């Protein structure tokens, strides 16, 4: 039995990103990696909070980190890029600026908590790459991909400014993980460009245009689906495809998947527990791709 990872779902994985949580839990189960959801977690303090009141954002993030530390966790898994970034940034700033550390710890002190920066904030992509490794994924592969090539999309927050998950320019670890289970990927130059984030809600037309660019380039490169590591990216790319078709009269329709869905499926996870039915776009394609085909004998050898 491997050691367990602390798990911080954040609001998205319990809401619009439930497919992410479901597939993540399935994938970690087939890999025999126990996840322990953090007890009494709260909002991570991400983007909107950080822009308006930095101290409050640090405080919120720090409480989650302190709880993980109290629970004796060495690693805290944050699957959402926004959560990952704000938790990672809080650790960085608390470590670097004594004034922030003091402010944060004063606030935490009211709940008898203290941040020690002993917990490692981690993203599942990095855990799979570093702790599991492509070789083990290949060995554990159970199903052969018969879908089309996919574009790996990392988004902007995952690799910048912190580069523990992957390189800031041209990250490739998701591509390598998918290649390990024989899923073809395309060279997608927009892999770290902005998905629009919350702009789709605030300055809608700008947000949608950014998504149009991402989708169109993926099509041009021959991808039939985009694979994401972040619930906000996935939602933006998935939800506005019909609107983009209406505005541009271009036929764009493709599944927007989580990398955990593909890996979970390839490693033989229960197809019904991968959140695949929650998709908005490309549902027909998803139905065709994610079936019960087993690895053929020669391919397995």
Partner 1 sequence: MPDRNPVRIGVYTCHCGTNIAATVDVKALAEFAAALPGVVVSREYKYMCSDPGQDLIRHDIRDHDLNRIVVASCSPHLHEHTFRTALKVGGLNPYYFHMVNIREQASWVHENKAQATRKAKDLVRAAVCRVALHEPLERGRVAIHPDVLVLGGGIAGIHAALTLANAGKHVYLVEKEPTIGGHMAKFDKTFPTLDCAACILTPKMSAVRSHPNITLLTYSEVTKVDGYVGNYKITVLRHPRYIDEDLCAGCLECLEACVYKQAKVPDEFNMGLGKRKPIYIPFPQAVPQVPVIDPETCIQFKSGKCKKTCIEACGERHAINLQAEATTQEIEVGTVILATGFRAFDAARAPGYGYGRYPNVYAALEVERMVNASGPTAGEVILRDGRRPQAVGIIHCVGSRDENTNRWCSRVCCMYSLKLAHLIKEHTGAEVFNFYIDIRTPGKGFEEFYQKLLTERVHFIRGRVAEVTDWVFDPSEDGKLVIRVEDTLAGFVRRIPVDMVVLATGLEPRADAPEVRRLFNISCASEGFFLERHPKLAPVNTFTDGVFLAGCCQGPKDIPDTVAQAGAAAAEALALIDAGYVETEPNTARVIEEICCGCKTCNSMCPYHAISFVGEIHKSRINEVLCKGCGTCVAACPSGAIRQNLFEDDQIYAEIEGILTHA
- Which residues are near partner 1 by CB under 8 A? 167-170, 189-190, 213, 217, 220
Residue 191, both tokens: 């892999």
Report the nearest approach of partner 1 to the CB of residue 159 (Å): 11
> Helices 54-70 & 98-109, crossing angle to 10 degrees?
70
- Closest approach of Cβ 217 to partner 1, in Å? 5
Query: How far is residue 47's CA from residue 61's CA, in Å, rounded to a whole number?
Result: 12
Judged by CB, which is closer to partner 1: 113, or 213?
213
Can you say whether residue 92 is alpha, beta or left, with left for phi > 0 and alpha for psi between -120 and 50 degrees?
Answer: alpha
Separation of alpha carbons 21 and 15, rounded Å: 10
In angstroms, rounded to a whole number, what is the distance separating the alpha carbons of residues 105 and 107?
5
Beta bridge pairs of residue 122: 77
Nearer to partner 1, 113 or 219 (CB): 219
Nearest to 262, CA basis, from 170, 104, 151, 136: 151
- Tell me which residue has tokens 């397995």: 300
Q: Which is nearer to partner 1, 166 or 238 (CB)?
A: 166
CA–CA–CA angle 12, 189, 290 (5° rounding): 55
Q: How far is the CB of 168 from partner 1 (least distance, A)?
A: 8
How many Cα atoms occupy the beta-carbon half-sphere of 283 within 13 Å? 7
Minimum distance from CB of 246 to partner 1 (Å)?
21
Please list the residues that pair with 258 across neighbouring strands. Answer: 228
6/171 with CB nearer partner 1: 171
Least separation in angstroms between residue 162's CB and partner 1 is 15
User: In whole angstroms, how close is the CB of 178 to partner 1 at the nearest point?
Assistant: 19
């Amino acid at each position: 039995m491997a050691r367990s990872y602390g798990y911080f779902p954040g609001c998205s994985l319990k809401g619009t990103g439930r497919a992410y949580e479901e597939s993540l839990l399935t994938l970690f189960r087939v890999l025999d990696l126990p996840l322990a959801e953090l007890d009494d977690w709260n909002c991570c303090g991400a983007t909107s909070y950080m822009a308006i009141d930095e101290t409050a954002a640090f405080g919120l993030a720090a409480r989650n980190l302190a709880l993980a530390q109290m629970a004796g966790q060495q690693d805290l898994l944050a699957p959402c890029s926004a959560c990952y970034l704000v938790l990672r940034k809080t650790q960085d700033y608390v470590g670097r600026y004594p004034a922030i550390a003091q402010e944060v710890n004063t606030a935490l002190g009211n709940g008898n908590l203290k941040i020690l920066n002993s917990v490692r904030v981690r993203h599942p992509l990095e855990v799979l790459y570093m702790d599991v490794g492509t070789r083990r994924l290949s060995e554990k592969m159970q199903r052969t991909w018969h879908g089309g090539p996919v574009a790996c999309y990392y988004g902007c927050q995952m690799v910048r400014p912190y580069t523990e998950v992957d390189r800031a320019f041209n990250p490739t670890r998701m591509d390598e993980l998918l290649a390990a289970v024989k899923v073809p990927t395309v060279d997608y130059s927009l892999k770290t460009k902005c998905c629009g984030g919350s702009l789709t809600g605030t300055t809608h037309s700008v947000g949608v245009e950014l998504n149009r660019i991402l989708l169109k380039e993926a099509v041009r490169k021959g991808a039939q689906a985009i694979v994401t590591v972040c619930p906000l990216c996935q939602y933006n790319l998935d939800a506005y495809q019909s609107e983009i078709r209406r505005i541009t009269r271009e036929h764009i329709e493709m599944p927007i998947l989580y990398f955990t869905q593909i890996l979970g499926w390839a490693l033989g996870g229960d197809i019904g527990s991968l959140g695949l039915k929650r998709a908005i776009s490309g549902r027909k394609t998803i139905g065709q791709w994610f079936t019960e085909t087993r690895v053929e004998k020669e391919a397995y050898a």
